[in-house]
Amino acid sequence: MAARPAPYLDDLNPAQREAVECLDGPVLMLAGAGTGKTKALTARIVHLLNTGRARPNEILSVTFTNKAAREMKERVGRLLGQAIEGMPWLGTFHSICVKLLRRHAELVGLKSNFTILDTDDQIRLLKQLVQAAGIDDKRWPARQLAGVIDGWKNRALTPDKIPTADAGAYNHRGVELYAQYQERLRQLNAVDFGDLLLHMVVIFQTHPDVLAQYQRWFRYILVDEYQDTNVAQYLWLRLLAGGHKNICCVGDDDQSIYGWRGAEVGNILRFEKDFPGAHVVRLEQNYRSTPHILAAASNVIRGNQGRLGKELWTQAEEGEKLRLIGHWDGEEEARWIGEEIEAMQRGTRGLRAFNLDEIAILVRASHQMRAFEDRFLTIGLPYRVIGGPRFYERMEIRDAMAYFRLVVSPEDDLAFERIVNTPKRGLGDKAQQTIQTTARANGVSLLEGARIAVEDGLIKGKGGAALRTLVEDLRRWGRMAGDKDMTHMELAEIVLDESGYTTMWQNDKTPEAPGRLENLKELVKALENFENLQGFLEHVSLIMDNEQADSEQKVSIMTLHAAKGLEFPAVFLPGWEDGLFPSQRSMDESGVKGLEEERRLAYVGITRAEEVCTISFAANRRVFGQWQSALPSRFVDELPEDHVDVLTPPGLYGGGYGAAAAPVRGTIETRVAEANVYNSPGWKRMQARAGERGVSQPKESRNTVIDLTAVSSFTIGERVFHQKFGYGSVTGIEGDKLEVDFEKAGPKKVVARFISASDD
């Protein structure tokens, strides 16, 4: 078949073209960020189709996310100049393996309609097994076992293949429980995520006929983001490519950021061993970023040991230097970025005018997003959150808000329905129906209906007692809402605590639970900006209504992990503080492995930017409800001075940047700006507030003083004072909560932060 003209080849450089045109045998494209790896991979698919080497359904093409798969499909269609009749095998490892496993499920003892368990289900199942095995799951949480098993699955290890070195896992019971778990899954006709690959590897290894069939079928194999494959994925690929060896992998060792999920950079190095004679293509020209951005990224990543090492160059014009700015606190950082984006839209600050689609904010931890979402809503700046629900759409936030709504308006039936059995109060469908019918019969709200149902003895037993408590609690909290002596933040914490909602997540051992608890703290923090609960709830309902059509231009907010492979003309990288980025966990780890992965994440972040990259940090940040003073990230020190402009935040040194057209710029040393925070309006505001409250303020902020008290200094038996409950003595300490026997109000559990040591 004669090849049609190939415009898709014309805009490739010689090295890329080589990778595209070298169709037979193994090809490894190893190159830095923005060098056109994904572009070349896409062109290769088009070339395979255009030259008639393969039909769309004979190409196996693996991307890292579903979004990337969609984009690649679109691009292939565009480049080919015709709609392709689908590429069923273009997708993520998981999506491809689900399809394959459905066809061959019986080979591993499953039926083709198997269910895929999510993490919650997985943990629940493991917990049952752990308890049945007589293991104390407080000491040995099922979540830990789940981590161990996932680790084995990532390495394609079935229970009978676990190396002796791992025999001690999960208190020497790991292997046995893994075997039981797999058996139980089979009985349930279910798989977990790790199984999708594991089962396929096992099928290919034990059924050569099946393997041979697919080796023939998938004439060409392509893999993007190869540096993030784990051993199981690697084995799967090697098996499939074992016949014709027409496999093309592209990756960048410097962008390996999923080590925590079992990815092994070593797979890149192994490629050349396993596929001898592999054609290795190196790309060095970067087409994405300006020289300053590239230089900064290169300098940061240079701090890592054991890199394959590569130099990048670009023909792009100089452009802007990286911009670095320190702020007083996280809120100011969000406010500044909001203003900066508006200014960029107008095309001031010496930059061209940007539209919102061209701008992204990339955060290290998803809890950082909330400050931006709130700020942008306040100023009406459209945004989208990529790779996760927006803050106020998260389950735990909606639950908590439902409680607040009920406190403010007891007749909010939707809120009542949402939380009546969350946490579990033993109220099944029948009890809930009784509440509904009672409410309807009396023409009252569900809450009132519940009260009547309990009074009349329509709901009995444990559920009835729990419902009575809920009804009474809600009424009590409602009264507290009118209490001038109590802040609405305090009330919110009381509601979440006393309802058992916080405890529910504290007892939850799923991997998501800690994040949900963080989000709840973040929610209480958000309340500070409002006068009362009502004001806050109105704000949020406006937010929820604010959902615009998706065609509108919006700023993108996402995590650094989700940003892999993407690019934006302007990128903001906030929160560059030690403990946040690099994360505390990576800093606590012995050895440099964790820290190096964080550094690669920094490299990924900077290299997403095409024209303008703005890095920021705050001197104070409230993390999980506690104020912490933060130091600029060690990665800030690794930025090369020659390629960085330090911006002075508004208000510092008498201010100037806020309204003025041109930023005050200086050398990297003026990062001391941050050392001078005591001049900032934020600091002065803090002091003024402290003064109003009559708190004596030495050096630190009001919040710091109070938090420090809360965290450490109470002792059992100590006499304390609480604004609402008065005097009492401490009878127990549990994390940041105190059990206090109040002289008037009796025993209560209260948040330490709202307690002060009694002076008398």
The residues carrying an active-site annotation are 37-38, 224-225, 255, 608
**SS3 assignment, position 302:** coil
Min dist. Cβ of residue 82 to Mg ion (A): 24
Are 32 and 254 in contact by the 8 Å Cβ rule? The answer is: yes
- Site for ligand ATP (CB under 6 A): which residue of 33, 46, 145, 652? 33
Cα 63-67-69 angle, rounded to 5 deg: 40
Min dist. Cβ of residue 293 to Mg ion (A): 16
- Our finding on whether 35 is near ligand ATP (CB under 6 A) is yes
Specify the residue, 569 or 579, whose C-beta has the smaller distance to Mg ion: 569
Min dist. Cβ of residue 718 to ligand ATP (A): 56
- Our finding on whether 287 is near ligand ATP (CB under 6 A) is yes
Give the per-residue contact string, 548-587, with ligand ATP (x = CB under 6 A; - = no): -----------------x-x--------------------
H helix intervals, 189-263: 193-206, 208-217, 231-241
CA distance 96 to 103: 11
Q: Rounded to an integer, what is the distance from CA 524 to the centroid of its chain?
A: 20
Bond preceding residue 663 cis, omega within 30 of 0: no
Bridge-partner residues for 361, per DSSP? 557, 572
Q: Is 111 annotated as a binding residue?
A: no
**C-alpha R_g of the chain:** 29
Min dist. Cβ of residue 417 to ligand ATP (A): 45
Give the per-residue contact string, 456-495, with ligand ATP (x = CB under 6 A; - = no): ----------------------------------------
CA distance 402 to 201: 46
Min dist. Cβ of residue 80 to ligand ATP (A): 17
Specify the residue, 37 or 367, whose C-beta has the smaller distance to Mg ion: 37
- Our finding on whether 648 is near ligand ATP (CB under 6 A) is no
- Our finding on whether 565 is near Mg ion (CB under 5 A) is yes
Specify the residue, 34 or 262, whose C-beta has the smaller distance to ligand ATP: 34
Residue corresponding to tokens 């394609």: 156
Bridge-partner residues for 513, per DSSP? none
Min dist. Cβ of residue 285 to ligand ATP (A): 7
- Our finding on whether 594 is near Mg ion (CB under 5 A) is no
Piece of 37-45, 46-54, 86-94, 162-170 that binds ligand ATP (CB under 6 A): 37-45
**SS3 assignment, position 556:** strand
- Site for ligand ATP (CB under 6 A): which residue of 26, 36, 464, 574? 36
Residue 539's CB is within 10 A of a number of other CB atoms, namely: 17
From residue 727, alpha-carbon distances to 101, 443, 715, 723 in Å are 65, 43, 15, 9
Specify the residue, 50 or 519, whose C-beta has the smaller distance to ligand ATP: 50
Residue 477's CB is within 10 A of a number of other CB atoms, namely: 22
Piece of 458-466, 546-554, 559-567, 691-699 that binds Mg ion (CB under 5 A): 559-567
Site for ligand ATP in 221-280 (CB under 6 A): 252, 255
Are 728 and 742 in contact by the 8 Å Cβ rule? The answer is: yes
- Our finding on whether 286 is near Mg ion (CB under 5 A) is no
SS3 annotation, 493-537? HHHHHHCCHHHHHHHCCCCCHHHHHHHHHHHHHHHCCCCCHHHHH
**Within 13 Å of residue 345, how many CA atoms lie on the same side as its CB?**
14
Dihedral sign (CA 98, 103, 109, 115)? positive
Are 456 and 468 in contact by the 8 Å Cβ rule? The answer is: no
Piece of 8-16, 351-359, 372-380, 460-468 that binds ligand ATP (CB under 6 A): 8-16
SS3 annotation, 345-391? HHCCCCCCCCCHHHEEEEECCHHHHHHHHHHHHHHCCCEEECCCCCH
Min dist. Cβ of residue 196 to ligand ATP (A): 24
Specify the residue, 224 or 412, whose C-beta has the smaller distance to ligand ATP: 224
Piece of 6-14, 213-221, 493-501, 503-511 that binds ligand ATP (CB under 6 A): 6-14
Are 129 and 177 in contact by the 8 Å Cβ rule? The answer is: yes
Dihedral sign (CA 45, 51, 55, 60)? negative
Q: Is 36 annotated as a binding residue?
A: yes
Piece of 30-38, 238-246, 317-325, 720-728 that binds ligand ATP (CB under 6 A): 30-38
From residue 1, alpha-carbon distances to 21, 24, 56, 594 in Å are 16, 18, 16, 52
Residue type for 265, please? V
Total of residues contacting ligand ATP (CB under 6 A):
19
Min dist. Cβ of residue 13 to ligand ATP (A): 4
From residue 137, alpha-carbon distances to 130, 143, 144, 238 in Å are 7, 9, 10, 39
Q: Which of the choices Mg ion, ligand ATP, none does residue 36 contact, using the CB cut-off of 5 to 8 A by kind?
A: ligand ATP
CA distance 91 to 103: 17
Specify the residue, 34 or 194, whose C-beta has the smaller distance to ligand ATP: 34
Q: Is 33 annotated as a binding residue?
A: yes
* Residue 755: burial class (beta carbons within 10 Å; 0-12, 13-18, 19+): buried
Q: Which two tokens stand for residue 575?
A: 């929160």
Q: Which of the choices ligand ATP, Mg ion, none does residue 173 contact, using the CB cut-off of 5 to 8 A by kind?
A: none
Min dist. Cβ of residue 607 to Mg ion (A): 10
Q: Which two tokens stand for residue 235?
A: 């084995």
- Site for ligand ATP (CB under 6 A): which residue of 3, 7, 11, 691? 11
Q: Is 38 annotated as a binding residue?
A: yes
Residue 241's CB is within 10 A of a number of other CB atoms, namely: 22
- Our finding on whether 39 is near ligand ATP (CB under 6 A) is yes
H helix intervals, 57-110: 66-80, 93-104
Piece of 10-18, 146-154, 578-586, 661-669 that binds ligand ATP (CB under 6 A): 10-18
Q: Which two tokens stand for residue 544?
A: 């929820």
Which residues neighbour 39 within 8 Å (Cβ) at sequence distance 6 or greater?
Answer: 12, 16
Specify the residue, 91 or 569, whose C-beta has the smaller distance to ligand ATP: 569
- Site for ligand ATP (CB under 6 A): which residue of 20, 38, 372, 405? 38
Query: Which residue has the CB atom at the shortest distance from Mg ion?
Result: 38
- Our finding on whether 175 is near ligand ATP (CB under 6 A) is no
CA distance 445 to 443: 7
H helix intervals, 133-249: 142-154, 174-188, 193-206, 208-217, 231-241
Residue corresponding to tokens 């900077």: 606
- Our finding on whether 17 is near ligand ATP (CB under 6 A) is no
Site for ligand ATP in 606-645 (CB under 6 A): 607
Specify the residue, 14 or 134, whose C-beta has the smaller distance to ligand ATP: 14
Piece of 11-19, 335-343, 506-514, 628-636 that binds ligand ATP (CB under 6 A): 11-19
- Site for ligand ATP (CB under 6 A): which residue of 6, 13, 478, 589? 13
Q: Is 37 annotated as a binding residue?
A: yes
H helix intervals, 443-485: 446-455, 461-481
Specify the residue, 291 or 682, whose C-beta has the smaller distance to ligand ATP: 291
Piece of 28-36, 177-185, 298-306, 581-589 that binds ligand ATP (CB under 6 A): 28-36
Min dist. Cβ of residue 360 to ligand ATP (A): 13
Are 622 and 330 in contact by the 8 Å Cβ rule? The answer is: yes
- Site for Mg ion (CB under 5 A): which residue of 38, 182, 267, 633? 38
Q: Which of the choices Mg ion, ligand ATP, none does residue 373 contact, using the CB cut-off of 5 to 8 A by kind?
A: none
Min dist. Cβ of residue 24 to ligand ATP (A): 23
Binding site feature residues for ATP: 31-38
* Binding region for ligand ATP (CB under 6 A): 11-13, 16, 31, 33-39, 252, 255, 287-288, 565, 567, 607
Binding site feature residues: 31-38
* Binding region for Mg ion (CB under 5 A): 37-38, 565
